[in-house]
Structure 1
């Protein structure tokens, strides 16, 4: 492990400290980084290298450490394709981890494909992750696995976590838990009817539910260059109500669904105060970020409606685009789009409005590059989560050489906290005067 505290200069006041770097003995791919948050709110990073090894990156007593986790039933010579993890409980450690692997048959030129699901929890264990890694359910696959992710669906016993796995058979496979094992939905998926008639290998998918969980928007992108977006009504049963697609000449690496406003739920102890910012808010339109591998990337506003598009400038100028994430990285309650490239650059885009000097009228809003982060190696994956346990999110960038952890400048965070406390005090005072 190598540790450094180098200041990274950014435009427009967004300052990062390149706090830590963890090298990997062999590189992963765009599917082999997964954050995992425990019941105490601390986030670990599970990182898989292609050569069977899986590492856990976490902070203990304020100090970073990375250790290998000995997951069972990963045979010698196997290659890890994708990994995903989730804690299904908010009060205890109920980790469930999915790993897809390819095993080459020696001398036969054939391959075997497996989906390993690890799940268990033990309140008496010093490390729930160590326990989970030893309890494996192995599913044989008759297709090559690609992207693995989890989401929720409303099943017989209420909302449950399910796995979604894309394969070389042009399908997205849905796996439900029956409390003993995991079973795949047969035929056309009743839980996800939008995935019934796909015509290409899905390289990425993303699902966004409405706040009341009565609707969702599902987006899939594939190696054929086609992006399909579906509007699905969930009451009483999942039903596709709208769909739209767009195609490119090259594969689409990622597709992200998001809303522009980053509104956090109001904690219980603050609900007594009438916070104007959280009242009577209309639901935002759903945006779609489409990142093609060799062409320019685009943001579509209301893809299923007005279908307004905006090109992301410079997105095709840094070699192949490999990853994308959406987050409020400058803490202004508006989401930004981060694009990672094989050209060793992460571009940060923000929706801005410019005023024409001659006409003195506002031009249509456009996404602009507001920050650029340069890395020493190609960027494979990006995440934004709190791995240090200090209450502030860090920018996690996985490159072909290892993991970079970028922290916000503590002075900037102190100013932000004081400003928000001042706003909360003003709301409290105003509420007391009105009463």
Structure 2
């Protein structure tokens, strides 16, 4: 039986609901594969629309990236709207821009309607090390305001200490439309919301095969696990970096990447409040960025690093503690209580992949580090498409996606070379 990794999130759960393993043959309108945010958002929205939905999770709800991430509700996509316009045209950019800030609203709506306790706090800060990064943030502010985000304000060097108590930054951008949460509590709260309206969840029920049967004018799919099977009219693949090779076509167009997080011991209340007086979540503007925030019980949670191909370095603490100490020198004498990693899914374009396989299989994957908000948007779009309105879904489905150059053998070294180049630019201040 698979359990949660040894993370702060798992250790700080007040309670945890166990869902049964699938051991029989059942039927549903929709079978969702994957118990992270993508699958949960899709399942909730479809169940609310009146469908009979079954969700299958190979381990535990929120076991993957949804229960391990930094917990930051960051707006837009891994490639921003100006990049999308340059490479895919103004019509596509306008359509995606209109959805760029919706994910956080979907999360807040779930929290409010289903009374989900997930330590939600409002507000975030993009921190700049250099004047060049400040200029980039000024452009981001104008870009996002153009697409409807009016909760933004630039902060110069004199105002940084009111946001985050460090001398590392020259300024930054406040976004009051984002925020932060306890990600595993959010996933488990969404699972409870789904079952409260009639949805079924089965854990420890890894899908090993999907068989499609033609029945007159309709296709029915048999979604098989080791001990059971779901007969469904539609299937949603939402396993992301943890789906493995269940659908090889999707695996070829994506690559798992690891990211790591540490959490300190509980800090004195006065110290915790002084580190980030605003209580915002923070991320810097480097290509290989660091991100951090104060937890509900006054720990400093600090994340960063990327391991291409997935997995973790030999010592997560040795990787991240120097970054933490550089931002907050006072942290050097406080110990790390938890250190863990997890995989997110990277695409060649850095844009999410939504689409169809055949007539009745839908998929979403590849948020490339922007998964908390985008996964919830994707779930809503999949539900809309399955319900009969694919106009917004097709904006993403029509984006071209390509496999990494050199196939599986070379995708990791090629990507590492690019990351090394941009990391060098960050370190030199270019």
Same fold by TM-score, threshold 0.5 exceeded? no
The structure with the larger Rg is 1
TM-score relative to the length of structure 2: 0.24
Which has the larger share of strand? 1
